[in-house]
Amino acid sequence: MPLLMVIAESLWLRTQQTVYLDLAKRWAKGTAIMFAVGAVSGTVLSFELGLLWPTFMEHAGPVIGMPFSLEGFAFFLEAIFLGIYLYGWQKVSPKKHLFAGVMVLLSGTASGIFVVMANAWMNTPAGFEVVDGKFINIDPWAAMFNPGSFTQTTHMALAAFASVGFAVAGIHAALLLRDPTSLFHKKALKIALFIAVPFSFLMPISGDMSAKHVAHTQPVKLAAMEAHWDTENGAALRIGGWPDEETQTTSWSIDIPYALSILAFGAPDAEVKGLKAFDDDLHPPVAITHLAFQIMVAAGTTMMGIGALIGFLAWRRKKLPTDPWVLKLLVAATPLGLIAVEAGWTVTEVGRQPWVIQGIMRTADAVTPMPHLVVPFTLFTTLYLFLGVVVIYLMRRVVFMSPQREEETQQNEVNHVE
């Protein structure tokens, strides 16, 4: 969102076309709504780490404190500059205002990267030794730059831009279908696609890097992602299918011979460890992991396909393709990125089970002794469902509406008040 807003504002500064200013202001409102929910959720998250996982934090807190501390500063900067951006249109010069927007973009991205670094540490722990159950010789920098850090943060950062690009493009495509002459939505769509298309190509590259990394560091997770039960040389890539954890088989899948060995280890006859090579109690929930992985890859591939198609059409026609069928395709693709992100998090978190810190601490040993956890669980789930509904409603109201419609609504409300 901040990237969209910054692009729109710099176009406004360069061209002085008010449509860009309108867009920047709209997307700034979207950022404001999202950030408000994000900021309070950040507070919830940092407390819940302790409220739910006190034992995990007691040991891991010092090791992964560094990215969290830096994230704190990034968060500070993001909040400060967002305040200036949102409330400072009249108070600071246009250049300083744009600078504030760029700072929101940079610090927001940095803060996401820091948090994912901490998560990557749970997958590929580094920077400490365990002696008698205590974590000693802690090196916070080594923990922060753990082996999984680079691939995982790249993957998530790219995903964030690609998914928001597609979501925003899809919504403006829908509005353009309803309101085909709107310059506002055309420009909006153009900027959103300008982000969505290139990032949809970078995603699979980084996905391949991530998968190779998982193959080396977390073979059980890879096996679960692929629902791959038997250790094989020249393993096939499984597409779809339903893994049965009782019989330890996967049925109804499409298998591409040798492809898994090639993708994971770069050689057609490379050995890929199957789930049966590991104790049963070290298996993650295979069906969930496999299914989530399939969903993520399918969504990502579709996005790349649509990105390629639109890139091709735009290049051929030297202008933005706005045929109804293209717009409808984009509307259909609106949720794909967000689905892929959620599915991806499911893969990395569920696929790591039973561990909370891979190979070091089991999730069951990390949880709070607090009874009746179902109460806060229900409470927060309800709260966030409510917030989700309100956010969607408000985004429709203030961000994704044709300018003239917005005026009409406001007029109606004023009449209503009177």
Partner 1 sequence: MSNDVILAGIIVVALAVYTLTGGADFGGGVLDALARGPRAQKQRDAIAHAIGPIWEANHVWLILVVVLLFSTFPSAFAAISTALHIPLTVMLVGIVLRGTAFVFRAYDSQAPEVQRRWTRVFSSASIVTPIAIGMSAGAVASGKILWTPELGVTSGFFAGWTTAFAGFVGLFLLAQATLLAAVYLCLETSEELQEDFRVRAIGAAIIVGVTAFGTLFFAKTDAPGIWEGLTAGGSMLVFHAITGVTALGAIGALLKRKYVVARILVAAQVVLVLGGWAMAQYPFIIAPNLTFADAVASPTVTTPILVALAGGSVLLVPAFWYLYRVFKMKTDEQP
Does the footprint of partner 1 cover residue 376 (CB under 8 A)?
A: yes
> Is residue 255 part of the contact set for partner 1 (CB under 8 A)?
no
Distance CA 401, CA 46 (A): 35
C-beta closer to partner 1: residue 33 or 236: 33
Candidate list 13, 77, 126, 309; residue touching partner 1; CB under 8 A: 77
- Decide if residue 59 touches partner 1 (CB under 8 A): yes
Question: Restricting to residues 28-47, which ones interact with partner 1 according to CB under 8 A?
Answer: 29, 32-33, 35-37, 39-44, 46-47
C-alpha to C-alpha distance for 258 and 176, rounded to whole angstroms: 45
Does position 83 interact with partner 1 (CB under 8 A)? The reply is: yes
- H helices, E strands: number in the chain: 15, 8
Please answer whether residues 378 and 143 qualify as being in contact, where contact means their C-beta atoms are separated by less than 8 angstroms: no
Q: Does 102 bind partner 1 (CB under 8 A)?
A: no
Which among 11-19, 174-182, 253-261, 362-370 is the span making contact with partner 1, rule CB under 8 A? 362-370
**Which range, of 1-9, 75-83, 184-192, 251-259, touches partner 1 by CB under 8 A?**
75-83
Cβ proximity to partner 1: between 49 and 309 the closer is 49
- Determine how many CB atoms are found less than 10 A away from the CB of residue 285: 17
Burial of 124 by CB count in 10 Å (0-12 exposed, 13-18 middle, 19+ buried)? buried
Minimum gap (Å) between residue 83 Cβ and partner 1: 4
3-state secondary structure at position 191 = helix
Question: In whole angstroms, how close is the CB of 132 to partner 1 at the nearest point?
Answer: 13
User: Which backbone phi and psi does 250 adopt, to 5 degrees?
Assistant: -120, 125
Q: List the one residue out of 346, 359, 114, 345 whose CA is nearest residue 218.
A: 359
Identity of the residue, 42 or 351, whose beta carbon is nearer to partner 1 in the bound complex: 42
* 57 counts as binding partner 1 under rule CB under 8 A: yes
Q: Could you say whether residue 370 binds partner 1 (CB under 8 A)?
A: yes
With CB under 8 A as the contact rule, which of the stretches 204-212, 231-239, 289-297, 375-383 interacts with partner 1? Answer: 375-383
Residue among 15, 17, 18, 69 that touches partner 1 (CB under 8 A): 69
**Residue 106 in the binding site for partner 1 (CB under 8 A):** no
As a whole number of angstroms, the distance between CA 231 and CA 216 comes to 15
Nearest distance, CB of residue 31 and partner 1, angstroms: 11
Return the bridge partners of 233, or none.
271
Contact 114, 74 (CB under 8 A): yes
266: three-class secondary structure by DSSP:
coil
Query: What length does the chain have?
Result: 418
Q: What angle do CA 74, 77, 142 make, to 5 degrees?
A: 20
The site that binds partner 1 (CB under 8 A) totals a number of residues, namely 70
* ∠ CA 253-259-264, rounded to 5°: 110
> Is residue 385 close enough to count as binding partner 1 by CB under 8 A?
no
Residue type, 173: A
Interacting residue with partner 1 among 10, 55, 248, 363 (CB under 8 A): 55
Phi-psi region of 258 (alpha: psi -120 to 50; beta: other; left: phi over 0): left
Q: Token digits for 103? A: 């700072």
Q: Does 54 bind partner 1 (CB under 8 A)?
A: yes
Residue 268 found at the interface with partner 1 (CB under 8 A): no
> Considering the rule CB under 8 A, would residue 392 count as an interface residue with partner 1?
no
| Residue 76 touches partner 1, criterion: CB under 8 A | yes
How many angstroms separate the CA atoms of 2 and 109, rounded?
10
Strand positions, DSSP E, 21-160: 129-131, 134-136
Q: What is the dihedral of CA 77, 78, 79, 81, to 10 degrees?
A: 80
What binding mask, one character per residue, do residues 320-359 give for partner 1 by CB under 8 A, x or -?
----------------------------------------
Least distance (Å) from partner 1 to the CB of residue 160? 20
Of 132-161, binders to partner 1 (CB under 8 A) are: 136-141
| Minimum gap (Å) between residue 100 Cβ and partner 1 | 9
C-alpha torsion sign, points 214, 304, 349, 58? positive
* 360 lies in the binding site for partner 1 (CB under 8 A): no
CB of 10 to partner 1, least distance (A): 21
Q: Which residues bind partner 1 (CB under 8 A)?
A: 29, 32-33, 35-37, 39-44, 46-51, 54-55, 57-59, 61-66, 68-73, 75-77, 79-84, 86-88, 91-92, 136-141, 368-370, 376, 379-380, 383, 387, 390, 394, 397-398, 413, 416-417
